[in-house]
Structure 1
Amino acid sequence: MRSFRYPPNHCHSAAKPLRPSLVLFIFLLVVTLSILRTQHTEAGYAAYVVDVKTGAVLHARNSRVLNFPASLCKVMTLYLVFEGLDEGRFTLASMVPISQRAARQPASKIGLKAGDSIMLQDAILALTTKSANDVATALAEFISGSEPNFAKKMTERASALGMVKTTFRNASGLPNKRQKTTAKDLSILGAALYENFPHHTHYFSRKKFIYRGQVYRNHNKLLGVQKGVDGIKTGYIRAAGYNLMVSARHNGHHLIAVVLGGKTGKRRDAQMKRLLQRAYNRLDRSDKLFAMISLPKEKPQRRKSLDSSLQRGKTTNLNPSESLKTRKLDTPRKEDNDWGIQLGAFARHDAAERILNSVVPLFPEILANTRREISTVTDAIGTLYRARHVGLTEEAARTLCEELTALARPCMLAPPSPSS
Structure 2
Amino acid sequence: MSIVSRVVAWGLPLLAAVSAPSSVDAAPRAPVSDIVMDAGTGEVLESENADRARPPASLAKMMTLLLAFEALDAGELKPGTMLRMTAAGERQQPSRLGLRRGRSIRVDAALRAVAVISANDIAVAIGDRLAGSERAFVARMNARARAIGMTDTRFGNATGLAPSAGRTTARDMAILARHLIRAEPRHYRLFSTRSISWEGRSRPNHNKLLGKVAGLDGLKTGYTVEAGFNLAASAKRGARRVIVVVMGAPSASERDLLVANLMEVGFSEPRLRRPRR
TM class by shorter chain equals 0.7 to 0.9
Does 2:166 align with 1:208?
A: no
How far residue 55 of structure 1 moved from its aligned partner, in angstroms, is 2.4
CA positional deviation for 1:177: 4.8
Counterpart secondary structure, 2:154: coil
Separation of aligned partners in 1, 2:133 and 2:41: 38
Tell me which protein shows more helix as a share of its residues. 1
1:264 aligns with 2:251: yes
Q: Which of 45, 50, 53 is matched with 2:40 structurally?
A: 53
Matching residue's letter, 1:166:
T
Residues 1:273 and 2:276 aligned together: no
TM-score, reference length from structure 2: 0.86
Matching residue of 2:137: 150
Change (3 A) 1:264 1:178: closer
Greater relative contact order: 1 or 2 (C-alpha under 8 angstroms, separation 6 or more)?
Answer: 2
**1:230 aligned partner, one-letter code:** D
1:254 alignment counterpart: 241
Q: Which amino acid aligns with 2:52?
A: V
In 1, are the aligned partners of 2:159 and 2:165 still within 8 Å (CA)? no
- How far apart in 2 are the matches of 1:106 and 1:178? 13
The match for 2:69 is: 82
Q: Which residue type is aligned with residue 232 of structure 1?
A: L
Aligned length: 247
Shift of 1:250: 2.2
Q: Distance in 1 between matches of 2:75 and 2:165?
A: 32
What is residue 128 of structure 1 aligned with on the other side? 115
C-alpha displacement at 1:178, in angstroms?
A: 6.1
Q: Which has the larger radius of gyration?
A: 1
| Paired residue secondary structure (2:267) | helix
Q: CA deviation at 1:254?
A: 1.0
Within-5 A mapping of 1:357-372: none
SS at match of 1:258: strand
Q: What TM-score does the superposition give when structure 1 sets the normalisation length? A: 0.57
Question: C-alpha offsets along residues 137-179 of structure 1, whole Å, 9 cap, x if unaligned?
Answer: 1000010000010011000000000000101111111013560
Secondary structure at the aligned position of 1:199 is classed as helix
CA distance in structure 1 between the aligned counterparts of 2:41 and 2:132, rounded to whole angstroms: 39
Gaps spanning 5+ residues in structure 2: where? Answer: 1-26
Match of 1:137 among 109, 112, 124: 124
Q: How does 1:180-219 map to 2 (within 5 A)?
A: 180-219=167-206
**Which residue is equivalent to 1:64?**
51
Give unmatched runs, 5+ long, in structure 1. 1-35, 287-346, 348-420
Alignment partners' CA distance in 2, 1:80 and 1:170: 13
SS at match of 1:276: helix
Report the AA paired with residue 71 of structure 1. S
Q: Distance in 2 between matches of 1:272 and 1:173?
A: 20
Among all aligned residue pairs of Structure 1 and Structure 2, give the percentage whose two residues are the same amino acid: 38
- Which amino acid letter does the alignment assign opposite residue 46 of structure 2? H
> Aligned partners of 2:264, 2:94: CA distance in 1, in Å?
33
1:289 alignment counterpart = none
Query: How big is the alpha-carbon RMSD for the aligned residues of Structure 1 and Structure 2?
Result: 1.8
* Letter aligned with residue 207 of structure 1: R
Q: Which runs of 4+ in 1 moved over 2 A?
A: none
SS in 1 for 2:80: coil
Aligned-partner Cα distance in 2 for 1:117–1:194: 29
Which AA in structure 1 matches 2:73?
Answer: D
For the residues of structure 2 that align with 1:280 and 1:59, how far apart are their CA atoms? 11
Relative to structure 1, the CA distance from residue 114 to residue 230 in structure 2 (aligned partners, 3 Å threshold; closer, same or farther) is same
Partner amino acid, structure 2, of 1:227: A
